[in-house]
Structure formats: structure tokens, C-alpha cells
Amino acid sequence: MTSFLPARRHVRTPLVKPPTHLDALADAVPRPYWLDVQQAPEPSSALTTDTHADLVIIGGGYTGLWAALQAKEADPDLDVVILEADTCGAAASGRNGGFCASSLTHGISNGMDRFAAEMPELEAQGLDNLDEIERAVLKYGIDCDFLRSGELDVATEPYQLDELGHAAELAASLGHDVRLLSAEETRREVNSPTYLGALSMPRSVAMLDPARLAWGLRDACLSHGVRIYEWTKALSLNEESHGIEVRTPYGKVRAARGILATNGFPPLLKRLKNYIVPVYDYVLVTEPLSAAQLASIGWEGRQGVGDSANQFHYYRLTEDNRILWGGYDAIYYYGGPVRSELTLRPDTYAVLADHFFQTFPQLEGIKFTHRWGGVIDTCSRFCPFVGTAMGGRLGYALGFTGLGVGATRFAAGALLDQLYGRYTERSRLRLMNSKPLPLPPEPFRWIGIQLTRWSLNRADENSGRRNLWLRSLDRVGLGFDS
């Protein structure tokens, strides 16, 4: 999910009454819609012997796949291996909402807070990166329902209208096509009684099927000769005189260089464990809308939509006219475990369902068919960082904080530039040559995150006014900008 609005965002107050739309969840299967309704590719075989490569990539999601593809495009003779513990696209890359944004900094406001001097260049390169993704989809025939539809950031409280105006001026000054919409104009685009206005950015975001994008990138990699081993978990990573060695259950890979692309999973490089935390996000999908139901909403532009709060919702239409509805809760569990059972959270689904019908009361009676969750690799600056270790032989790209569908391609390219000593426009950016502040150890990490969530909720209830804790985080560069 992306937003270009400032951090001081608002949404309806949390429910204080028991949830009233549990019946809509009765038949919702606990599986990601994208991975349930369409056939995944036949998995590649696991690695069962020792092998050598020029480049080994740990992780078969977007970051790893974009890295492999760009490496082979730059040097077709490079021997590239991908190791994936599950199947390509089975984790975050196949579970997200399918918002592919141009922003490399998790929104303009977050970027201005941290990289103000670079923002004109960052936004220009971000838009170029989105263009390159669109070109790759066409070049490789990736059937992922790619649509450059843009996004609406909608105001649901009066005070947010001023924020929309400021955001529009800032985005326009950085080269974006922007338009402010009145309440009536917004409701003509997407009809909800909660809307008071919106910021439309028609070229800055694309909608797509995230699983089919991952599978299409996998096919493109295979067509270039990338060796992909699925069901092959990397158990350890060691530096050797010749390069690096990755041990798996049945074999080892020795390579001159390597890339860690493991998203929110515990990184094999210990020094990275203090830089990211796994945060869980949750999603619902409705049954297909009838023609009458779709007409009651409009949504002819099929834009992505996000409401304007710290605890925000993101939503969009799927190819078969379902509504994907996610966000609001972002849950961190003590100690940062990554476990499949944590991707299901009934309390959050109940709240999401009630919020859905507050936004679209004309859809009363519609059912949800799918419910799921996934892990977001969050860092203290809320946007990606890259770096190298082991004498420059190992690279990593992490911290996408839920906005990685587009940014993973850019970060993977910048990381390859660093690994192979190429000085380019993207590799020289401070964004790509700096790290976020490390996160404190437990129990201070959990306490800080819970206090921040409570404070953000209070801000949502009080017209965006930030308390002393949030203002303190802003001053030390840890403020939440989304």
C-alpha cells in the first residue's frame, strides 16, 4: 500500500461496539486470494547436490527475482542461482494488495523528512522505475493485469482537506501529475458517503496481480538461464576465500557473490537483525460484485484507494470485480516471530469487515471469500536500504515496509551496481548508501512499537494531533510517515 499524504492522517475511530458483520466472514477461506484462485507454476526441483555459481540469491520474491533478471540482462553469461525456501511468490510478493507505486521512500512526506535534498531526483527516478516495470511486463509478456490507473488518497475528515492541498502542491513541485477533487468529484470516481475530497495521482501508481507478476518474473528469469531451486531453504551463510558459501538441507552453493533478499524473515546476516522487524498486515476480499453493485460504486477508473489516516485502509478492484480491502491494523508480536499461524487474525478481520460496510453501505449483504495476512519488513525509516558485507561479496536489500512491489526493482538494481562496482545515478543516491537507525532490543522494542501504535490511534481520534511521544519520534528521525 502506498500513500503520498503527510503522516498526520486520519480514519474513522476504532469500533467500540461488538462487530456487526461477522456473517459476511462466514465463508471466507484463510488463504490469499491471489494464490487460491489461479494455478501457480510447477515448482522447480530442490537443490540436492553441491554447485558453483557466479551469483547466488537467497529469496525468490520480487527483490531476488528482479536482481536475477537485471543481472542476466546486464551480463547474459553470468551464472545466477536463486534459492527459495518455499516457491517463488509464495510469501510477501504473492500476498500484497497489488499497488505498484513510483515512490521509493514510502511516500513523498516520508522522503522529504529524510532525503529532502534528493527528493526531486528520487521522484524522477521512481517514475522512471515504474515506467521500466511497465516495459518489462510488456517485453516479457507477463500477464499480471497491469493497469496504470493511479491512486486516490481520500479525505474522510474535514481537517484532512488542508493536508490534501499541501500534498498536492508538494507532489506537483516534484513532477507528479496531480489533481485535487471535491467531495462530489471524488464520489463520481468512487462512490462512498464517507468521502469529503481526494488527491488523484493518475500516473504514479499501477494496479496489478502480485502473484502473477512474481510468476512472470520467475518465467523471465528461467528464460534467461537463471537456475531456480525451490523448496530449498538457506540454512547458513559463510564467507570463504573464493567468495561465499550457502548451506542448504541437501547441498551447498559456492559463489563469487551473493544477495540476501529475504524480506521480513530473520536475516542470515546477524548484523541486520537490529534493523528490521516483521509486522503483520491483514486483508479481506469480497465475492465478485454484480453489475448493479458495481454501478452503485462507479469506480470506472479502477484506481487504487487509500484513506487518510495513520491507521489507514487500502483497497482496489481485482480483475474479476472483487474488492480487496486491507490495512488498518499493523501487528507486531513480541520477539518478532515469523510463523504461518500469525498470518490469520480473526479480531482484525472483524474490524475490517465493519469498516468496509461503513465505507460502502450500499454493498450491505455482500460476502467475503478470502482472508489472510502477511509479513512486512519494517525498518525505522520506513523505506528500503541496501548494503554490502563480507568484503563486498554479499549484498542485501531490506526494509521496504509494505511498499516493495515497485521499489524492489530499483533497490535490486542499485545493489547490483554496488556489488559489481558500477557508479550509476541510482547507486550514488544517499537513499542507497545509508542505513536506518537500529531498533532497540526487547522488551524496549515491543514497548516502543505498542506505545507508537497507541499514540497513532489517539492522533486519529484527535484530528491528527500528535502527542509528546510522536513528536519526540519526529525530532529524532523515527516519526511515522506513510
* Mean pLDDT within 34-38: 96
In this predicted structure, what is the pLDDT of residue 476? 67
The more confident residue out of 19 and 232 is: 232
CB 51 within 8 A of CB 232: no
Q: How far apart (Å, rounded) are the C-alpha atoms in residues 27 and 35?
A: 17
For 160, the 3-state DSSP assignment is helix
> pLDDT at residue 170 above 80?
yes
Quick one: pLDDT band at residue 480, thresholds 50, 70, 90?
low
In this predicted structure, what is the pLDDT of residue 310? 66
Q: Kindly write down the DSSP assignment for every residue of 398-457, as one continuous string.
A: E--TT-HHHHHHHHHHHHHHHHTT---TTTTSGGGS--PPPPPPTTHHHHHHHHHHHHHH
In this predicted structure, what is the pLDDT of residue 446? 86
CB 162 within 8 A of CB 446: no
Neighbours of 198 (CB within 10 A): 30
Instruction: Give the phi and the psi of residue 72 in degrees, each rounded to 5.
Output: -70, -35
Which set of grid coordinates corresponds to residue 416?
A: 547490483
Q: Kindly write down the DSSP assignment for every residue of 374-389, as one continuous string.
A: EEEEE-TTSS-EEEEE
Average pLDDT, the chain: 92
Which set of grid coordinates corresponds to residue 275?
A: 534493523
> pLDDT at residue 2 above 60?
no
> pLDDT at residue 15 above 60?
no
Q: How far apart (Å, rounded) are the C-alpha atoms in residues 456 and 149?
A: 30
In this predicted structure, what is the pLDDT of residue 459? 65
Residue-wise pLDDT for 250-301, tens only, equals 999 999 999 999 999 999 999 999 999 999 999 999 999 999 999 999 999 9
Chain centroid offset of residue 51 CA: 33
Quick one: pLDDT band at residue 460, thresholds 50, 70, 90?
low
> pLDDT at residue 406 above 50?
yes
> pLDDT at residue 466 above 80?
no
* Mean pLDDT within 215-233: 98
In this predicted structure, what is the pLDDT of residue 463? 63
> pLDDT at residue 9 above 80?
no
In this predicted structure, what is the pLDDT of residue 479? 62
Place of cell 547490483: 416
In this predicted structure, what is the pLDDT of residue 450? 82
Residue-wise pLDDT for 173-190, tens only, equals 999 999 999 999 999 999
* Mean pLDDT within 109-123: 95
CATH 3.50.50.60 corresponds to the domain 22-432:
yes
Burial 106-123 (b: 16+ CB within 10 A, else e): bbbbbbbbbbeebbebbb
Residue-wise pLDDT for 332-344, tens only, equals 999 999 999 999 9
Domain boundaries, the chain: 22-432
Between the alpha carbon of residue 204 and those of residues 63, 175, 434, the distances in Å are 20, 10, 25
CB 105 within 8 A of CB 111: yes
In this predicted structure, what is the pLDDT of residue 447? 86
Q: How far apart (Å, rounded) are the C-alpha atoms in residues 256 and 23?
A: 56
In this predicted structure, what is the pLDDT of residue 27? 97
Residues 6+ positions from 266 with CB-CB distance below 8 Å: 273, 336, 338
For 132, the 3-state DSSP assignment is helix
Residues 6+ positions from 295 with CB-CB distance below 8 Å: none
3-state SS string for 337-350: CCCHHHHCCHHHHH
Quick one: pLDDT band at residue 312, thresholds 50, 70, 90?
confident
Q: Kindly write down the DSSP assignment for every residue of 8-57, as one continuous string.
A: ----PPPP-SPPS-GGGGTT-BSS-HHHHSSPPPPPPPPP-S-EEEEEEE
CB 224 within 8 A of CB 70: no
Between the alpha carbon of residue 235 and those of residues 154, 171, 216, 239, 387, the distances in Å are 45, 44, 27, 14, 21
Angle between helices 210-223 and 62-74 (to 10 degrees): 30
Q: Which of 11-15, 22-26, 37-41, 93-97 has the lowest mean pLDDT?
A: 11-15
Residue in 190, 75, 208, 50 with CA at minimum distance from that of residue 134: 208
pTM comes to 0.93
Angle between helices 210-223 and 119-139 (to 10 degrees): 70
Q: How far apart (Å, rounded) are the C-alpha atoms in residues 261 and 326?
A: 25
In this predicted structure, what is the pLDDT of residue 337? 94
Residue-wise pLDDT for 408-443, tens only, equals 999 999 999 999 999 999 999 999 999 999 999 999
Chain centroid offset of residue 136 CA: 19
Q: How far apart (Å, rounded) are the C-alpha atoms in residues 336 and 334?
A: 6
In this predicted structure, what is the pLDDT of residue 461? 65
Radius of gyration of the CA atoms of the chain, in A: 21
Residue in 163, 190, 110, 171 with CA at minimum distance from that of residue 479: 110
Q: How far apart (Å, rounded) are the C-alpha atoms in residues 371 and 115?
A: 37
Between the alpha carbon of residue 80 and those of residues 53, 100, 228, 449, the distances in Å are 6, 26, 9, 39
> pLDDT at residue 19 above 90?
no
Q: Which of 39-53, 77-91, 312-326, 451-465 has the lowest mean pLDDT?
A: 451-465
CB 410 within 8 A of CB 382: no
> pLDDT at residue 13 above 90?
no
> pLDDT at residue 378 above 80?
yes
Which set of grid coordinates corresponds to residue 327?
A: 490495512
In this predicted structure, what is the pLDDT of residue 467? 75
